[in-house]
Amino acid sequence: MEFALLYIVAALGISTVLNLLLKRIGVSPIIGYILTGTIMVYSFDLREMHNNHTLEHIGEFGIVFLMFSIGLEISFTKMNTMKTEIFLNGFMQVAFTSLVIFSFSYYLFGLESNSSTILALAFSLSSTAVVLSYLKSSKEIYSPYGQRATGILIFQDMAVIPILIFLGFLTSEANQSIFVILKDTIISAVIVIAFMLIVGKRIMSWLLHFSASSEVDELFMGSVLFIVISASLLASYMGFTYSLGAFVAGMIIAETKYHHKVELDIAPFKDILLGTFFIIVGMKIDVMFFLNNIGTIIGIFILVLLLKTFIIYVLLRFSSVHSTSLKTALALSQVGEFSFVIFAVASSDGLLETYLESMFVLVVIFSMIITPFFITRITKIVEYFRKDEEMPVDMSNLGNRKNHVVLCGFSTVGKHASVNLDELNASYVIIDNNPKHVQEAMAEDKEVYLGDMSRRSILEALHVEKAAAVIVTLDNIDKKRAVCEAVLKHTKNVNLIVKVGSEEDKENLSDLDITVVDAKFEVGKILVERMISCKLKYN
């Protein structure tokens, strides 16, 4: 490693130049980092380093900081509302995908049972690094399909632990019963979560409070790094992945007032380390092996992509509309980075042949290279295959929703209101009795339902009594009054905000306990405010 500094400088230079060129043609920087790794290996003859455990640990911390930043977006309160996405959808996806891929591998392609099992478990996982990076940067993480994809990815990360335990049980050296292993794992999980919630939460709050009050940026950043790495090491020490410890730490900090500052400060570390992870992925590419087996690798990739898309779509279609199900399925159709760990463990324990390991690793890398090209075009792909969807009227999947906003009406004002709610990262549900407006909201991947909000059954399904606010943007005064009366009859503990367009409308609603927003008055007020803030112009 006497040339370590040279390698670092070369990697920085190559990745910077490549990504500047790729950015001009709209290609994801992930591709640039992977190509950098491959160029480094063949330029400096570093092929023996592609399995270096130190490098893999450094690269893994890119995933750690990514999961930490995702944890900042998903507090325990929000995770409680995502139980279906994480535990039901996630479990069904991993279980059914593994079963189908095992059947194909064992019965159709004639692989041994152990090899088929390893392949099925590894290929059931999707890429947290690629998918969540895109969802977070594009703000799609707050859309219905983004929420479902995030929930499934969280479960997949948790599933890595029992998968690795199962691999250990398959080896001849496994001398403990699976029940003992599972019992120890559950006890370890309880200890980690309890410690982080009881002791860790107090330590984190104390550190962030005093480092923030010091007004020294490096002390605050040092505290954040200490929290992330300590939580990761604790989880690893107890037998879990680094990223799960960081994810829980992020969820704890999400409950504090510092989460926005932490997210902003941690971004450079996350991006740099995530780039390092993809460089190390690129170092695993054996160009000659790939060229000699390119047909097989692409064929396996296409088969896996089609199988995973179909399975995830079918599973989600029971609870989601066509476009949301298809978008989620396409977003999770690739194979993820944790497959490298599964293949490496299986190969070292003699469960997987070296040839098959090399083949499967290249399939994973190929899928991670292709994914950034089409994940940004998922909406266009879905629009191309869009069929006339039924209006979403079943609200059973709303669950025990609370602290959300109910947006009644998706005409012009309603659309602008939804844009502002998206910018605030607010949780909201749209309800409209106009099929055209519902279709327009569905086209934008909004959570929308067709229904008349003046009906009690609709109010109960929307959990209006637990909502943070109800915003009514309807134009028809009779419909507005009917909705307001129904909401106030259903519950008094809600902020009811109503848009009016005339003095007559305001007078008509004056006897109701609501907050009225007069469109004309507000426009006049804004015009004067803009005039005051304008710079004077001189002739």
Mind listing the pLDDT tens digit for each residue in 84-116? 888 899 999 999 999 999 999 999 888 988 889
Pick the closest to residue 117 from 166, 82, 55 (CA basis): 166
d(CA 180, CA 182): 5
Q: How confident is the model at residue 187 (pLDDT cuts 50, 70, 90)?
A: confident
Pick the closest to residue 501 from 473, 529, 528, 482 (CA basis): 473
pLDDT digits 0-9 by tens, 329-362: 999 999 988 888 788 778 766 788 888 888 998 9
**Interhelix angle 354-375/113-123, nearest 10 degrees:** 20
**449 pLDDT exceeds 70?**
yes
> For 139, left (φ over 0), alpha (ψ -120 to 50), or beta?
left
**Residue at which a domain ends, from 384, 415, 434:** 384
Cα distances (angstroms) measured from residue 262 to each of 6, 250, 256, 276: 32, 9, 10, 21
Pick the closest to residue 53 from 264, 259, 348, 257 (CA basis): 348
Q: How many domains does the chain have?
A: 2
For residue 327, tell me if it sits in a domain: yes
Q: 424 and 499 in one domain?
A: yes
Give the range among 45-54, 57-66, 129-138, 388-397 with minimum mean pLDDT.
388-397
The H or E element spanning position 405 is: strand 405-408
pLDDT score, position 92: 94
Instruction: Determine contact, residues 326/317, Cβ cutoff 8 Å.
Output: no
Per-residue pLDDT, averaged over 236-260, amounts to 80
Residue 303 sits at the vertex; the CA angle it makes with 100 and 151, to the nearest 5 degrees, is: 60
- What are the φ and ψ backbone dihedral angles of 258, each rounded to 5 degrees? -100, 0
d(CA 105, CA 462): 45
pLDDT score, position 171: 62
What would the two tokens of residue 35 be? 């190509």
**Selected residue with higher pLDDT from 484 and 169:** 484
Strand partners, 469: 405, 495
Q: How confident is the model at residue 122 (pLDDT cuts 50, 70, 90)?
A: very high
Neighbours of 119 (CB within 10 A): 29
What is the helix, strand, coil percentage profile of the chain, to 5?
70, 5, 25
Q: 324 and 191 in one domain?
A: yes
For residue 527, tell me if it sits in a domain: yes
d(CA 296, CA 449): 45
What would the two tokens of residue 173 be? 């050296």
Q: 339 and 262 in one domain?
A: yes
What would the two tokens of residue 155 be? 């479960």
Residue 147 sits at the vertex; the CA angle it makes with 143 and 148, to the nearest 5 degrees, is: 120
Give the range among 131-140, 178-187, 312-321, 420-429 with minimum mean pLDDT.
178-187
Q: 374 and 430 in one domain?
A: no
Strand partners, 450: 432
Q: 448 and 323 in one domain?
A: no
For residue 375, tell me if it sits in a domain: yes
Most confident of 74-88, 232-246, 300-314: 300-314
Q: 378 and 292 in one domain?
A: yes
Place of tokens 């978008």: 327
For residue 35, tell me if it sits in a domain: no
Q: What is the CATH number of the domain that holds 137?
A: 1.20.1530.20
d(CA 150, CA 66): 12
pLDDT digits 0-9 by tens, 505-539: 888 888 888 888 887 777 777 777 667 766 555 44
pLDDT digits 0-9 by tens, 287-303: 899 999 999 999 999 99
Q: 101 and 229 in one domain?
A: yes
pLDDT score, position 322: 81
Burial of 489 (0-12, 13-18, 19+ CB in 10 A): exposed
Place of tokens 């998968």: 163
For residue 8, tell me if it sits in a domain: no
Rounded-to-10 torsion of CA 274, 275, 276, 280:
100
3-state secondary structure of 218: helix
Query: What is the span of the domain harbouring residue 329?
Result: 50-384
**Residue at which a domain ends, from 346, 362, 384:** 384
3-state secondary structure of 538: coil
Q: 341 and 214 in one domain?
A: yes
Q: 400 and 359 in one domain?
A: no
Per-residue pLDDT, averaged over 36-51, amounts to 79
Q: 333 and 443 in one domain?
A: no
**20 pLDDT exceeds 80?**
yes
Place of tokens 């993820």: 336
Pick the closest to residue 316 from 297, 304, 333, 301 (CA basis): 333
> For 392, left (φ over 0), alpha (ψ -120 to 50), or beta?
beta
pLDDT score, position 539: 47
**Residue at which a domain ends, from 384, 411, 441:** 384
pLDDT score, position 311: 96
Per-residue pLDDT, averaged over 479-498, amounts to 89
3-state secondary structure of 111: coil
Instruction: Determine contact, residues 286/358, Cβ cutoff 8 Å.
Output: yes
For residue 20, tell me if it sits in a domain: no
- What are the φ and ψ backbone dihedral angles of 496, each rounded to 5 degrees? -105, 110
d(CA 126, CA 94): 10
**176 pLDDT exceeds 50?**
yes
**390 pLDDT exceeds 70?**
no
For residue 10, tell me if it sits in a domain: no
Q: 415 and 308 in one domain?
A: no
pLDDT digits 0-9 by tens, 406-442: 999 998 888 889 988 887 878 899 999 887 888 888 8
Indicate the average pLDDT of the chain.
82
pLDDT digits 0-9 by tens, 354-373: 888 889 989 988 998 898 88
For residue 203, tell me if it sits in a domain: yes
Per-residue pLDDT, averaged over 459-471, amounts to 89
d(CA 234, CA 151): 23
**445 pLDDT exceeds 80?**
no
Q: What is the CATH number of the domain that holds 491?
A: 3.40.50.720
Helices (H), 254-353: 259-283, 287-292, 294-317, 322-331, 338-348
d(CA 185, CA 430): 42
Place of tokens 């460089």: 279
Amino acid identity at 213: S
**Selected residue with higher pLDDT from 85 and 392:** 85
Contacts of 404 (CB under 8 A, 6+ apart): 426, 427, 428, 429, 463, 466, 467, 468
Amino acid identity at 402: K
**471 pLDDT exceeds 80?**
yes
| Polymer length of the chain | 539
pLDDT score, position 164: 72
Q: 412 and 368 in one domain?
A: no
- Helix (H), strand (E), coil (C) string for 193-206: HHHHHHHHHHHHHH
Instruction: Determine contact, residues 445/389, Cβ cutoff 8 Å.
Output: no
Residue 485 sits at the vertex; the CA angle it makes with 481 and 488, to the nearest 5 degrees, is: 140
